[in-house]
Amino acid sequence: MVKVICAGAPKTGTKSLARALRILGYNEVYDYEEGLEFAFDEWEEILHNRSTDVNAVLEKVYSKDCEAVVDLPHSHFFEFFLKRWPDAKVILMTRDETSWFTSFADMLNLAKNQHWMLNLLVYFVPASRRIRVYHEKLFSTVLGSEAPNELKWKMWYRRHNCYVKETVPPNQLLVFNISEGWDPLCAYLDKDIPDEPFPFENKAGSKTSIVERVIEDTAIVKRIKLEATIILSVAPILFLVLIYYFFF
- Write the pLDDT tens digit of every residue in 38-69: 899 999 999 999 999 999 999 999 988 899 99
**Residue 160's Cα: distance from chain center in Å?**
16
Q: What is the pLDDT of residue 12?
A: 97
Look up the CATH number of the domain holding residue 11: 3.40.50.300
Instruction: Give the residue numbers spanning the domain of 222.
Output: 4-247
List, for residues 189-207, the tens digit of each pLDDT value: 999 999 999 999 866 545 4
Edge-first strand order for the sheet with 68-69 is 29-30, 68-69, 4-6, 89-93, 173-176
Any idea what the Cα angle at residue 84 is, between residues 191 and 142, rounded to 5°?
95
Confidence tier at 215 by pLDDT (50, 70, 90): very low
- pLDDT cut 90: percent of the chain above it: 64
Task: Report the domain count for the chain.
Answer: 1
The dihedral formed by the CA atoms of 142, 144, 149 and 154, expressed in degrees to the nearest 10: -60
Give me the long-range contacts of 114-123 (CB less than 8 A, separation at least 24): 114/211, 115/211, 115/215, 118/215, 118/224, 121/224, 121/228
List, for residues 165-187, the tens digit of each pLDDT value: 999 999 999 999 999 999 999 99
DSSP 3-state percent helix, strand, coil across the chain (nearest 5): 60, 5, 30
More confident residue, 32 or 130: 32
- Over residues 233-243, the mean pLDDT reads 54
